[in-house]
Chain A
Amino acid sequence: MLPIVFEWHWDVGHFVFMGLFYLALGIIGGGLALAFKATMQDLCSGKDPHEHGHH
């Protein structure tokens, strides 16, 4: 899973497989971070949380 684990090899298989895995995790984490940041900004600006309407 990480280069520190003994069976890790710097080969195409590991690059593609682990690269896509970390990309997916990065997108999920990045999306959550964006939503969290926007929430903080809205809270600080004193907006009404229900002005966005029902989803």
Chain B
Amino acid sequence: MDDSKFWPQGVTRCKPGAFIAWMVVCLGLLGWAGLSAFLCIFKGLNQTNMNDYFAFGVWIVVDLAIIALGAGAFFTGFMTYVLRRDELKNIINAAVIIGFICYSGAILMLGIDIGQPARGWFGFWHANVHSMLTEVMFCITTYLIVLIVEFIPLILENRQINKVPDLAFFAHHLHRIMIVFAATGTFLSFFHQGSLGGMFGVLYARPFAYRAGIVIWPWTFFLFILSAIASGPSFTTLIVMLTEKVSGRKLTTHKVKMLMGKISAYLLSFYLVLKIADTLYWANVTLPKMGVTFGDLYAGGPYGTYLVWLELGLFGVVPALLLLQRRVRESYGLMALAMVLNCCGAVMNRFVFTIQPLAIPVLPFEKFVGYLPSWQEWGISAGVIAYGLIVFSLAYRYLPVFPQEVELNKG
């Protein structure tokens, strides 16, 4: 079986046998997810370890994490098409695909999380316009439409599909007005990233999550946007680096990766200054006003102050200091390490905000509680990762994702 006529012009890919074997591994994970999804829909959410304490579990953690990491799509699109940073055109396709995977994966996962996916339309039809979650729901689904529109021209540029004149013209004209979609995507993404943070910040009955703010927006609204745009470019670059290592081919110049690292560095530093200020204000002003102390919130249960040091220190200040240095960005390995730490910080932040507020007692008869996901919950989470691997692998194999690939691999 030879599929080379579908590969982008002038590139080579692994043998079909190896590719099929890789797909079988991913499909195995998808099978686990399929079984888990079937059980959750057929038997109900009692298949999970969520309960009256933990209405949010690992699915929401993964959801928020991949949506933050997928922010590379909208921010790179904004930099490429709106701010005209032309060198980012060499990585924008990968960013769009990763964004598409993250957002569609998150929505698929939410379909299971709501328990009755057939009633998912209810939130749209009977929209509560005062709810942060409603804004998230509308913006995420609309932004997914934008991502699909941004992904379509790339699919139409497949070597065989592009031979069809209608489709080639359509791809060209979509490209011409991509700035419109990029700007719309930026607007939508900006607000739903913020509303995801705002959703926690307005929980005044949960001192761990509650934050002061400005007008209707708690500080977490702005902090979530900043952490997403700081980690998104790092995640996109990491996936490109990983693809380079697996395929043994150069896909973008190191200069492009360094630029992404520099963008992450400045945004992460700015985010950390505000995040540390927010944490200090919350610990010294907000919490005492609510009748609790910082120590009270970490006085029991499995979620100790080590999480603060991990999130702000090892996964915050350390990668920011590393990425700010040109010498680190010039080193392939060190930059990758710093980017991994940066992405871990975003994931840790989403974990802390999702799980920890629910674990801390807020009523006199409550105790600290812990949560571990069931195998069905892990199954759905693994399924989203497998789905992402399949889509990205297919895109890399058959679509001209990296404009510099042919030139960088000559000879």
Contact = CB atoms under 8 A, between A and B. Distances in A.
Interface of A: 1, 5, 7, 13-14, 16-18, 21, 24-25, 27-28, 31-32, 34-36, 38-39, 42-43, 47, 49-50, 52, 54-55
B181 to A, nearest CB: 6
Interface of B: 124-127, 129-130, 134-135, 138, 142, 145-146, 149, 153, 157, 162, 165-166, 168-177, 180-181, 184, 187-188, 400, 403
A43 B165 contact: yes
Contact of B184 (A7, A13, A16, A24): A24
A38 to B, nearest CB: 4
Of B149, B170, B173, B184, most buried by chain A (CB within 10 Å of CB) is B173
A21 B138 contact: yes
Determine chain B's interface SS by DSSP, over half rule: helix
Contacts of B176: 35, 38
Nearest to A29: B145
A16 B170 CA distance: 33
A17 B129 contact: yes
B126 A21 contact: no
Contacts of A1: 124-127
Contacts of A36: 170, 173
A1 B123 CA distance: 9
B169 A5 contact: no
B149 A28 contact: yes
Given A7-B126, A18-B129, A21-B142, A31 B180 contact: yes
B191 to A, nearest CB: 8
A4 B142 CA distance: 22
A24 B142 contact: yes
A54 B403 CA distance: 9
A35 B174 CA distance: 6
